[in-house]
Amino acid sequence: MTSNTVGSTDDFSIEVPAHEDWEDIYQVFSAGINIDGDPQSLEAERELFEPERSLVVRSDGRIVATLGGNTRQIAVPGAVIPAAHGCRGAVSATVRRQGILTQLMRRHFEDARALGEAITLCWASEGRIYHRFGYGVAVRRLALNVNSREVTPPPGTPAGRVTEGSPADLRDALVKIYDQVYAERPGWSERTAAHWDYRLADLMSQRAGGSALRAVIHEGDDGIDGYALWRVRSSWSGTGPLSTVDVVEQVSTTPEAYDALWRFLLKVDLTRYVSTWSVSVDEPLFYWVGEARQLSAHLCDGLYIRVVDVAKALASRRYATAIDVVIDVTDDFLPVNTGKWRLTGSPDSASCAPTTDDADLAFDIRALGAVYMGGASLQALAGAGLIRELRPGALAEAAPAFGWHQPPSAFEIF
């Protein structure tokens, strides 16, 4: 086995792993998140493993820590850009609190910059871990647990036709619909064939006691325009069925498809609840159902973003309104980002470059990550102490530009 050593201390060496290190990496990560792992997941996740984008730490030849990355594009306001999709971050319990994760993160950020990726992103096991490395919560999500008997759809008959089929048989339609939508929805990542293989692998570890993955598509006047992936968790009481429809994802390109798919999901035979772990904070279902409280919505953190190249990141996205502002960025962990930057942007173009002009706003690097997808308000971040107004009125002037007409969402853990 050969590895490329990229850093070391007296007790540990940081290396780029080889393909044959995968099983050890999988075991270290599984132990780090307190699961046993299983052979099915081991093989499915192997297909997404990019050793050249990964790092491991060895002690006496044994892997004791890992941090991975996937090469993918992600939709941001007005654009689709390459981004480091961070994953499999874990440090063995016996070597924690020794600065290992700090070294891995620093290298991860440097590698992303070297590859031309302006941001890196992740799903956080615990938010407090990632705040200290400069990540901000860029996408929030809603978890729903719907009492389907108490939710009344609007009157009318849904247009088009809903058809069931296995995910494998309907795969071409799923891919086509997703590709039509993802580039316009900040927070959604591209899916290659390998990503679809994993999404539809239907691992037992992901079922949570539910049935095999199921699929439905909606066909309107102009063809297939929506789909849903779902499963059922069966439950019965002395008075009858109490089963739950677990919605894995629902994607539609028309209001008609959205309407028909949710009517179907809310009326599956022998079920009483519909649950979904992540929908957008602007989910139309809130305005579509008769009793929104019966959605039992719970707001959670979702996708975390870390800006690793300020100038490139701010120039890569677009802005809801015209903006010309100087921001003073503080980034103690990645000092190359610290300094004053002039951002000029609009819905059609953007540029960002160093400047010596007086700053209008001061940003902690976490604030840049939080606002990057257009979902967080500058006023809220100022209230949290992550943005300071240096010129009176600058905050109100800049705030509309950082928003976007389509709030971000995310429902795919990588």
pLDDT at 154: 85
Structure-token match 């990229």, residue found: 6
Per run of 10 residues, the mean pLDDT along the chain (length 414 residues) is 49 94 97 94 97 96 96 98 97 94 97 97 94 97 95 88 97 98 97 97 94 98 97 95 97 96 96 97 92 95 98 98 98 98 98 98 98 97 98 98 96 94
Would you state the CATH architecture of domain 142-302? 3-Layer(aba) Sandwich (3.40)
Same fold, 4-123 and 309-402: no
User: Which residue type sits at 332?
Assistant: D
Please measure the distance between the N-terminal and C-terminal CA atoms of the chain and give it in whole angstroms: 27
Fold observed for domain 4-123: Aminopeptidase (3.40.630)
The amino acid that residue 18 corresponds to is A
Residues 369 and 366: their CA atoms lie apart, in Å, by: 5
Cite the DSSP H helix spans in 182-239: 193-199
Nearest CA to 167 out of 219, 216, 226 is that of 216
Q: Two tokens at 383?
A: 């209230």
Q: Which of 102, 116, 112, 104 is nearest to 70 (CA)?
A: 112
What is the spatial distance between Cα 283 and Cα 280, in angstroms, rounded to a whole number? 5
Is 309-402 assigned to CATH 3.30.1050.10? yes
pLDDT of amino acid 142? 97
Domain residue ranges of the chain, discontinuous segments joined by +: 4-123, 142-302, 309-402
